[in-house]
Every structure is written in C-alpha cells, then in structure tokens.
Amino acid sequence: MITGATGGIGRATALGLAALGADVAITGRDVARTEQARRDIQSAGSGTVHAFVADLSSQAEVRRLAEEVLARLPRLDVLINNVGGYWNTRQVTVDGLEHTFALNHLAPFLLTNLLLDRLEQSAPSRVVTVSSNAQALGRIDFDDLQGERGYSGARAYNQSKLANVLFTYELARKLTGISVTANALHPGVVNTGFGATDPAPIQRLFVPLARPFMKSPAQGATTSIRLASAPELASVSGRFFANGKPVRSSPRSYDETDAARLWQVSAELVGLSPSSG
C-alpha cells in the first residue's frame, strides 16, 4: 500500500510495483484523481489495484482509512508512507495542528500504528517511509514542535523529515524479533508537484530552472520500490537509504532519547497509548 499515489513519486512507485506483478493499494485525497490513478496503475500490471480516499492531514480521516484498509485487505505486506509536502506559510489542520508536522510526521505515525497488527499478521512485511536528505538539516524543537512561536517552511519541513527517520529507527527497535522491517529513504531531487501550492520564494525562482536536471518520478521511485520488494532487503531494518543503498543519516537521527520522546509526544497528539508500536 502506497499513500499519495495520485501523483509524483507515489504514483511512480505504485506503477513500478504493479509492473512487478504486485497487488497494490493506493491512497489519494481526491476521488476523481484517485480513480484515474487506480485505472492507470491497473493497466500497468496484472494484479489488483485497491483505491482508498482520505485526507491524511485529518486524524479522523487517517483512522477511517485504517478501518477501511483493515476491512478490505486481509494482508498487508508493505506500507509505504509517501505522502508529504512543504508549506511556506504556517497552516493549521482541522485538528488544530501545524500542517507540515501533522501531514508529514503524525499521519504516517498514526497510520502505521493502526496497521501494525495487520503488518505483523502478514509478516514478513515492511514499513517504508519516504523522508528526505532535508533530515540532515532538521532539529526537533520539542519546545515549539508546531512553530507557534515562529514558523519557517524550511524549518518545519526539515524537522518533519528528521521526525520520519527518528520514527523509523524507533519503530525498528520496537519491532526487534518480529519480521516487520522499518526503513526510511531519500528519493533524490525529483520533478514532481512537490511544494507547488505554497512554495518558498527561492523555490519559485529556481525550481523551474532546475526541473530539467531533476530525477523523473520513475527514477525517484526506484529506492521506494527496492525497499518494498528486494528479496535481499527482507531482514534489513532501521536503515536510511539513498540511491538504493544504505547510507548514514544525520547524527541527530540516531539520538535514541529524542526518538523515544518524539514517539511519546506523537502518541499523545494522536491519542494513542505511548507504549503503542
């Protein structure tokens, strides 16, 4: 299952996995775009394509999505947490949370936890979370996680992508001894709709010039596809990948105290027990 498969890297990941013969489940937030993606992905492979619609910036929607997935999919071999975005100005979700933190970190945190039993029942299985090299610039500001005192789009994005890696490593530690792996990745700099709704001024200026030099969505999807499907990675867990290979993530991402604290704070913010996972 791939979240955010109506466009960009997620769509290319779903197309690639379908072409490998996988049964694929996708999520989108718009009914028509999701149905169009389902049809396109269906014609790329011979497996079944299930489509789910949910706005993952809303916790109620994440919970409804998880319920529908549990009702419709008797097994779940791979969950790819792909949805993510950038907002230059501070925006607030229906839950009253800062949008970047809610969508990029809390949504995959909650969805993964709600689907963990199904992943365990389907083991060996995998959780793959699309982070970014921006994690290297990130800091978790526990005193102002949601940019209430001061907001910068870059700071919020970098923090959320570091949170993806801290979450992945903490999840991998919690899953020790269970055949469910958890890895994170940087897809590369990819020519997608990323950040298009509320870009930073510098993005407005440079992204059009840089587009010809960026990876295509298909190229950007290769690490996600490899982490989801490569037999030799079946027992690799708690690693960060770029260009298909394991690489070290930022020193901060290995801070186990921060990872445990972030898990606890996140559990509180989504209404899960802190010992979940």
Ligand X SMILES: NC(=O)c1ccc[n+]([C@@H]2O[C@H](COP(=O)([O-])OP(=O)(O)OC[C@H]3O[C@@H](n4cnc5c(N)ncnc54)[C@H](OP(=O)(O)O)[C@@H]3O)[C@@H](O)[C@H]2O)c1
Q: State the residues that interact with ligand X by CB under 6 A.
A: 4, 6-10, 28-30, 33, 55-57, 82-85, 103, 130, 132, 186-187, 189-190, 192-194
Output the smallest distance, CB 185 to ligand X, in A.
Answer: 9
Of 2 and 122, nearer to ligand X (C-beta) is 2
Token digits of residue 24: 């694929």
Q: State in angstroms the smallest separation of the CB of 10 from ligand X.
A: 5
Q: How many distinct helices (H) and strands (E) make up the chain? A: 10, 7
**Token pair of 264 as six digits:** 């606890």
86: annotated active-site residue: no
Cβ distance to ligand X smaller for residue 119 or 163: 163
Dmax of the chain from CA atoms? 51
Give dist(CA 182, CA 266) in Å, integer: 18
Q: Which is nearer to ligand X, 4 or 147 (CB)?
A: 4
- The DSSP bridge pattern shows strands 125-130 and 180-186 to be parallel
> Catalytic: which of 86, 157, 169, 254?
157
The dihedral built from the CA positions of residue 61, 67, 68 and 73, taken in this order, carries a sign that is positive
State both tokens at 181. 């792996």
- Residue 224's φ and ψ, nearest 5 degrees, are -60, -45
Q: What's the closest the beta carbon of residue 121 comes to ligand X, in angstroms?
A: 25
Q: How far is the CB of 22 from ligand X (least distance, A)?
A: 18
Token readout for 207 is 């992204």
Tell me the three state secondary structure of residue 128.
strand
How many residues appear in the chain?
277
Could you tell me the smallest distance in angstroms from the CB atom of residue 6 to ligand X? 4
Looking at the Cβ atoms of 122 and 239, the one nearer to ligand X is 239
Question: Which residues form the catalytic set?
Answer: 157
